[in-house]
Amino acid sequence: MAAYKELAYALVTGVVAGFAFAKMKLPIPAPPTLAGVLGIVGVFLGYLLAKR
């Protein structure tokens, strides 16, 4: 259950940060497309696989 809490906190923090960046008219510090986000997830998963 604690893992879900951590995921929820991370999601809420990300949404708040994204909202703040948009309101301040700053570029987001992440890829602005789903493909870019999936690329980052892929790098993370590849790292996890290599560590096994």
Q: How far apart are CA 28 and CA 50, in angstroms?
A: 29
Say yes or no to pLDDT of 37 above 90: no
Q: How confident is the model at residue 32 (pLDDT cuts 50, 70, 90)?
A: confident
Please report, for the chain, how many H helices and E strands are present, in that order.
2, 0
**Rounded mean pLDDT, 26-51:** 89
Please report, as a single letter, which amino acid is at residue 16: V
Total of domains in the chain: 1
The region that residue 25 occupies, defined by phi over 0 for left and psi between -120 and 50 for alpha, beta otherwise, is left
Residue-level pLDDT at 45: 94
Query: Could you tell me the residue range of the domain that residue 47 belongs to?
Result: 2-51
